[in-house]
Structure 1
Amino acid sequence: MPPLLIVVGGLPATGKTTVAAELARRTGFSFLRVDTIEQAIIRTTSLTQPLGPVGYVVAREVAADLLRTGVSVIAECVNPLAVTRDAWRATGLGHGARVLETEIICSDPAEHRRRAEARDTGIPDLVAPAWQQIVDREYEPWTRDRLVVDTARLPVGEAVAVIEAAARPRR
């Protein structure tokens, strides 16, 4: 069975990290969080936000190493542009993995805003974007199929179960 790359994307404060971390706990897959990588780069270099593609490139290279050794990966990031989505897909397919692209949304704007204003990123020194920054963020519409999981409608456990079901190989 080839490894699996699950890319969990979506706007900040939709529940991506919560869902992806629980998915990693349940599956035992490696978990890569681009925010963690970017903040480590900022802490140890003279670089500052915005980093541009650096965090995504590092995460994809680490994912490629894991996939090459047969280890399945959950990559969590905003994944806002077609170019980032294409790059993740190419990383997985280029290393013999199955790829599941997942977009986490929060369809209730009031709940999304509440989460944005109340959340703790869990990463030292990482300042979460303000609500208006989330609303104004560049986020291209998807142009291909992906699994959409709405955390305004599903609790974490059910959201994870939906992704697990979609990740099962089809026979």
Structure 2
Amino acid sequence: MEPLPPRRDRPRLPDGYGLPADDEGLLDWREVEARLIASKHYWLASVRPDGRPHSIPRWGVWVDGRFWYDGAPTTRHALNAEHNPAVTLTLESGTEVVIVEGRSLAARADADDLGARLSAAFGKYADDGYAPAADAWSGADGGGLRVITPERVLAWFDFPKDVTRFRW
């Protein structure tokens, strides 16, 4: 189920960054979401139980307005998210920026519904040797599937003209 579109506005930045005072040039959510869908490489940042940060590249897919990724529940990022689900997900570019702030939770997906859609989306990694079947996440443990539900996204493709904050 597709979530409601987010509200958009300008974030607060310190004086001197040249942020426009009006809403002219704000990005459209569909343009930002298209980059989240198309990307193959993401960076996931979480916090260890002792407060130290942890960042790791991840493969995943943007489906139904959320980021879905998998891995062993014993990985550092999964253990961190179990302790503190607040995470940040970013794309690779430092000039065409998308920063997703949200919560990462363990999930599962039935093969004949969400699992099939996730499997199709993960097809972008087939040439890299990763092509999970639709039932990969249907077991009791969810096959290590996790989902990040966005709470806030910051994005810009032409800083500072189009800096946009999206909130749900």
Structure showing greater relative contact order (alpha-carbon pairs closer than 8 Å, 6 or more residues apart) = 1
Q: Which has the higher helix share?
A: 1
So what's the TM-score if we normalise by structure 1?
0.29
**Structure with the higher fraction of residues in strand conformation:** 2
**Which entry has the higher C-alpha Rg, 1 or 2?**
2
TM-score computed with the length of structure 2 as normaliser: 0.30
